[in-house]
A and B are shown apart, each in its own frame.
Chain A
Amino acid sequence: MTQTTSIDAVMRTLADPTRRAVFERIVKSEEITVAELTRGSGVTQGAISQHLKSLKQAGLVADRPEGRNVHYRADPKGLAPLVDWMALYAVFWRERFANLRTLLKEIDP
């Protein structure tokens, strides 16, 4: 788990609506370049690059240089500070219920 990224840093980074929109697009893509992010965004490539820099510093995105392009992808670890125990356990128990259903089918068809 990323312990160095505080929730404050993550929240500050995602408080900007444009930056949040950039992040959401990265999350939805497996990998995406600055040029692809700029297209249809309504902001300049320079602005996108600045947002990417902030997202990277907050641990929310990771990059992979390839030739002239840099591919960005979401780093789910960066979001960990945003997700509290309760949210995690709510999903966890729903999943475990599904497991239990499957197990019961096996042992008591």
Chain B
Amino acid sequence: MNEAALKSDTQDIVVDDVLPHAPETIWKTLTSGELIGRWLMQPTGFEPVKGKRFTFQTTPAGAWDGVVHCEVLEVTRNECLAYSWQGGHDSNAHYGARLDTIVTWTLARVDGGTRLRLVHSGFVTPRNDAAFKAMSEGWKKIVGRIGAISGE
């Protein structure tokens, strides 16, 4: 891989789903530390208050201790929650690489429930050559590395 193949860009992950529950109910699952622990990961020090800093412990990699550092950036009750999501270390490539991203949850009341939208933004992704892209597409399916993110 040469330098030309490593031009950086940032990209977002978007997950969008209608859940058959009221925004108020979903809001609770996004903003109660105990409930967050039951579907995402157990946060340390979370409170739905702007400026509040909290962490998640995931699997360490190299010089990175595995701690994801977050800060609440926006809280609009039953509508929007955003926090920074930072971790990793410059000495790591890929898993455990430097990560400086933002997680934003948006809730909108719709017929039969709530549209919940997650945007995880700011991924710096190397633009690899076609071969690498083709490969990683295939491998994504077989690599169960999600446990590492969740510290399992």
Contact = CB atoms under 8 A, between A and B. Distances in A.
Q: Do the two shown chains form a genuine complex with each other?
A: yes
Interface of A: 1, 3, 6-8, 11, 14-15, 20, 27, 74, 76, 79-97, 99-104, 107-108
Contacts of B19: 100-101, 104
A82 B123 CA distance: 16
B39 A83 contact: no
Interface in B35-72: 35, 38-40, 59, 61-62
Contacts of B76: none
A11 B5 CA distance: 14
Contacts, number: 125
Nearest to B141: A91
A81 B1 contact: no
Nearest to A90: B13
Given A81-B93, A95-B146, A104-B21, A87 B136 contact: yes
Given A76-B145, A94-B15, A103-B38, A83 B95 contact: yes
B15 A7 contact: no
Given A83-B140, A94-B15, A8 B146 contact: no
Contacts of B59: 1
Nearest to A77: B145
Interface residues of B, number: 47
The listed residue with most B CB atoms (<10 A of its CB), out of A7, A14, A93, is A93
Contact of B131 (A15, A87, A99): A15
B40 A84 contact: no
A80 B145 contact: yes
B143 interface: yes
B118 A97 contact: yes
A87 B140 contact: yes
Nearest to A81: B94
A3 B15 contact: no
Contact of B21 (A11, A87, A108): A108
B113 to A, nearest CB: 10
B82 to A, nearest CB: 15
Contacts of A81: 93-95
A104 B27 CA distance: 11
B13 A89 contact: yes
A97 B139 contact: no
The listed residue with most A CB atoms (<10 A of its CB), out of B39, B93, B118, B131, is B39
Contacts of B118: 93, 97
Contact of B95 (A1, A14, A20, A99): A1
